[in-house]
Structure 1
Amino acid sequence: MNHSFILKAEWDGGRNSEGRIEAGQLKTAISIPKEMGGAGIGTNPDEMLLGAAATCYLITLAAMMERGGLPVEKLTLESEGIVDVTNNIFTYVSIAHKPHIILKPDASEQDINHARRLAEKAEGSCMISRAIAGNVSLSTQPIIEKSLA
């Protein structure tokens, strides 16, 4: 069974103009970032690719930990995307996910190890990661700890 996602877009002019996109709940202005010589209005393809990869990873990891019965107290994520600019050619080089998993105080050493394995496994289970694999280097750097309270 296939699921279709539709995005509608408008663009007002040349390279350094701005536009708008709408896809389901996503409605935002778009342009090229100022750092890349654009208008810097709204979001841009680089942020959206990072956002897609990060949210897919985060949701996948949360679902895997829930199915694994891990005593998760809090889950946060910081992700970093690196874009190389050489000879005015922009190439998305890498995405590093840095999940911070805080387990409940009664978590065992086995739970900590399980959380670490799932943090690594979630990358390969996420559909966005699978879509960009081979083109963008993907890495995961989890921090896992038990809550003190």
Structure 2
Amino acid sequence: MGASPAGNRYQEEKLFMAIQQSDVKYTAVATAENGRDGRVATDDGQLDVVVNPPKEMGGNGAGTNPEQLFAAGYAACFQGALGVVARNEKVDITGSLVTAEVGIGQNDEGFGIIVAIKATIPTVDAAKAQELVDKAHQVCPYSKATRGNIEVTVSAA
């Protein structure tokens, strides 16, 4: 039996958003041992950290945790996307900051995450800041990867 037309459209959109292996410019490699209560390191030695669940989840909170690492990556990626959008529109975003808040909690399928992106852009008014953030959310690779999978909200100040 074939998939429904909506299912086909979804698969086509997913394929359209994918990149081909030949188009990959950089690949990051990280290895974890002992999951959320162990260590994670990159193959180039630039990152080597102890990971522990936060105290709120029964851990000792002695190291970082996957949510912090995801928040750091998302914030940096989103700031880059914001810069691309601003340059394309010839808007000065000097002094801008992007904060990513990543929450984890139980859902019907076990655990899930939720993200809130907050950008502060002191050089533009609130309406223009929100417009830039909305556009950055459309081009940010992390936003594209999470779209339709987790709740992500974006706001600007």
Asked if these proteins are the same fold (TM beyond 0.5), I'd say yes
Per the alignment, residue 42 of structure 1 pairs with 63
Unmatched runs of 5 consecutive residues or more in structure 2: 1-22
> Which one of the candidate residues 98, 121, 129 is aligned to 1:101?
121
Partner Cα separation in structure 1 for residue 85 and residue 101 of structure 2: 22
Identity of aligned residues (%): 22
Higher RCO, Cα 8 Å, sep 6+: 1
Partner Cα separation in structure 2 for residue 69 and residue 85 of structure 1: 43
Per the alignment, residue 135 of structure 1 pairs with 149
Q: Is residue 124 from structure 1 mapped to residue 138 from structure 2 by the alignment?
A: yes
Per the alignment, residue 80 of structure 1 pairs with 101
Unmatched runs of 5 consecutive residues or more in structure 1: 144-149
Instruction: Tell me if structure 1 keeps the 8 A contact 2:95–2:122.
Output: yes
Structure-1-length-normalised TM-score: 0.73
Offset from partner CA, 1:59-109 (integer Å, 9 cap, x none): 1102211232113331012222222235893211x2111111011xxx6x7
Structure-2-length-normalised TM-score: 0.70
Instruction: Tell me if structure 1 keeps the 8 A contact 2:133–2:154.
Output: yes
| 1:74 partner SS | coil
Partner Cα separation in structure 2 for residue 18 and residue 102 of structure 1: 40
Partner Cα separation in structure 2 for residue 118 and residue 69 of structure 1: 11
Say which structure is richer in helix: 2
Cα offset, 1:10, TM superposition: 4.8
> Which one of the candidate residues 87, 90, 112 is aligned to 1:69?
90
- Count of matched residue positions in the alignment of Structure 1 and Structure 2: 134
Cα offset, 1:118, TM superposition: 1.5
Per the alignment, residue 56 of structure 1 pairs with 77
Partner Cα separation in structure 1 for residue 80 and residue 98 of structure 2: 11
Partner Cα separation in structure 1 for residue 26 and residue 109 of structure 2: 34
Instruction: Tell me if structure 2 keeps the 8 A contact 1:18–1:41.
Output: no
Runs of 4+ with >4 A deviation: none
AA aligned to 2:71 is L
